[in-house]
């Protein structure tokens, strides 16, 4: 219970109590926490105190308030450090989450002008196109679309569901990603993307266009990731230049 005579303000104590319940698993991701009236009765505090405590929890990203529905515990976001070369699987495992994938397509297509320019090939050349839906703890968080030069046609021989595409590439060719460049934008979910990511059509998504290079600076693939920003965050570190 809260201590009325403590130095710590009541709203901070209440925040700490609810946070403890979230961290210990009493409240699980997606659970609705007590209403303001229920908290007032349980803890013997005013609505102002409750709103300040919940506001702190919202600022921490632990809960989200949904108009007309209540306040719910958020699901932890998958966070990618853009400064570090790291596969989706490695990132999930680092965060204690189980990575997964479902292959959507694996076929030959003709490279459009932008893809051809990024891969250093002629427009209309055939490339290996692989698309996958990526999961973190069995929840869909991203759609990956990757285009590989035809020299990597051996990728057509395999399925890439819960196995690593890039481990397979390294084992077959000895090549690995040594560097990449990325462009990050916003886009709106199409009907197909909304169905796959379990969002609404027109919702904002993160759009990441990337080109990966080998140690000899040869383009390995050109890719696009369409990411549910509610479940995924990108971390970028900058330093000052002279």
What is the C-alpha R_g of the chain?
Answer: 23
pTM above 0.75, yes or no: no
Instruction: Specify the CATH superfamily of domain 78-235.
Output: Chorismate lyase-like (3.40.1410.10)
Q: How many CB atoms lie within 10 A of CB 76?
A: 15
In the chain, domain spans = 10-73, 78-235
The pLDDT assigned to 35 comes to 93
Are 51 and 151 spatial neighbours (Cβ–Cβ below 8 Å)?
no
As a whole number, mean pLDDT of residues 18-25 equals 88
Structure tokens at 214: 């080998």
Of 130, 26, 37, 120, the C-alpha closest to 73 is 26
Are 164 and 198 spatial neighbours (Cβ–Cβ below 8 Å)?
no
| Phi and psi at residue 195, to the nearest 5° | -65, -45
Query: Is 60 exceeded by the pLDDT of residue 16?
Result: yes
The pLDDT assigned to 240 comes to 55
Query: Is 70 exceeded by the pLDDT of residue 34?
Result: yes
Place of tokens 């250093």: 120
The pLDDT assigned to 136 comes to 84
* pLDDT band of 176, cuts 50, 70, 90: confident
CA distance 131 to 48: 50
CATH 3.30.465.10 fits 10-73, yes or no: no
Mean pLDDT, the chain, whole residue set? 87
């Amino acid at each position: 219970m809260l201590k009325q005579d403590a130095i710590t303000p009541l709203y901070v104590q209440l925040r700490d109590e609810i946070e403890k319940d979230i961290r210990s698993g009493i409240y699980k991701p997606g659970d609705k926490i007590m209403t303001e009236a229920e908290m007032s009765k349980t803890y013997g505090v005013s609505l102002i105190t409750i709103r300040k405590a919940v506001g702190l929890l919202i600022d921490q990203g632990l809960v989200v308030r949904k108009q007309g529905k209540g306040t719910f515990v958020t699901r932890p976001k998958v966070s990618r450090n853009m400064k570090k070369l790291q596969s989706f699987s490695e990132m999930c495992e680092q965060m204690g989450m189980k990575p997964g994938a479902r292959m959507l397509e694996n076929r030959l297509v003709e490279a459009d002008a932008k893809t051809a320019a990024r891969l250093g090939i002629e427009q209309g050349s055939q490339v290996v196109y692989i698309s996958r839906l990526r999961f973190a703890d069995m929840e869909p968080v991203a759609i990956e679309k990757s285009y590989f030069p035809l020299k990597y046609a051996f990728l057509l021989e395999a399925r890439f569901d819960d196995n690593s595409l890039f481990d397979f590439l390294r084992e077959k060719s000895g090549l690995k990603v040594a560097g990449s460049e990325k462009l990050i934008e916003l886009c709106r979910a199409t009907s197909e993307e909304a169905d796959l990511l379990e969002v609404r059509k027109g919702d904002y998504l993160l759009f990441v266009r990337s080109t990966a290079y080998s140690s000899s600076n040869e383009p390995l693939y050109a890719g696009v990731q369409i990411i549910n920003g509610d479940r995924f965050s990108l971390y970028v570190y900058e330093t000052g230049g002279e």
